[in-house]
Amino acid sequence: MTCQSSDSTETIESEGRVDNDSRAVESDESRIASAMKELRSTGWYWGTLTATEAKEILQDAAEGTFLVRDSSQRDYLFTISAMTSAGPTNLRIEYKHGRFKLDSVVLVRPKLKQFDSVVHLVEHYVTLSKTSDKTAADSRPSAAAAPNGTVQLLLTKPVYTATPSLQHLCRIAINKTTRQVQDLPLPNRLRDYLTDYAYNV
Percentage with pLDDT > 90 across the chain: 50
Task: Looking at the structure, tell me whether residues 150 and 179 fall in a common domain.
Answer: no
- Predicted confidence (pLDDT) at residue 120 exceeds the cutoff of 60: yes
pLDDT grade, residue 159 (50/70/90)? very high
Q: What is the pLDDT of residues 41-82, one digit of tens each?
A: 999 999 999 999 999 999 999 999 999 999 999 889 999 999
Task: Looking at the structure, tell me whether residues 48 and 122 fall in a common domain.
Answer: yes
Listing DSSP states for the chain in one string gives -HHHHHHHHHHHHHHHHHHHHHHHHHHHHHHHHHHHHHHHHHS-B-SS--HHHHHHHHTTSPTTEEEEEE-SSTT-SEEEEEEETTEEEEEEEEEETTEEEE---TTTGGGS--BSSHHHHHHHHHHHHHHHHHHTTTTSPPGGG-TT--------EEPPSSPPPHHHHHHHHHHHH-S-GGGSS--HHHHHHHHHS----
Mean pLDDT of 95-106: 84
Do the domain assignments include residue 23?
Answer: no
pLDDT at residue 110, as a whole number = 64
Task: Looking at the structure, tell me whether residues 108 and 130 fall in a common domain.
Answer: yes
Q: What is the pLDDT of residues 162-196, one digit of tens each?
A: 999 999 999 999 989 988 888 889 899 998 998 88
pLDDT at residue 133, as a whole number = 58
Task: Looking at the structure, tell me whether residues 53 and 141 fall in a common domain.
Answer: yes
Domain of residue 190 covers: 163-201
Instruction: Give me the number of domains the chain comprises.
Output: 2
Task: Looking at the structure, tell me whether residues 197 and 112 fall in a common domain.
Answer: no
Mean pLDDT of 124-145: 61
Task: Looking at the structure, tell me whether residues 189 and 124 fall in a common domain.
Answer: no
pLDDT at residue 104, as a whole number = 77
Task: Looking at the structure, tell me whether residues 47 and 126 fall in a common domain.
Answer: yes
Percentage with pLDDT > 70 across the chain: 74
**CATH classification at residue 120:** 3.30.505.10
Average pLDDT for the chain: 81
Task: Looking at the structure, tell me whether residues 169 and 153 fall in a common domain.
Answer: no
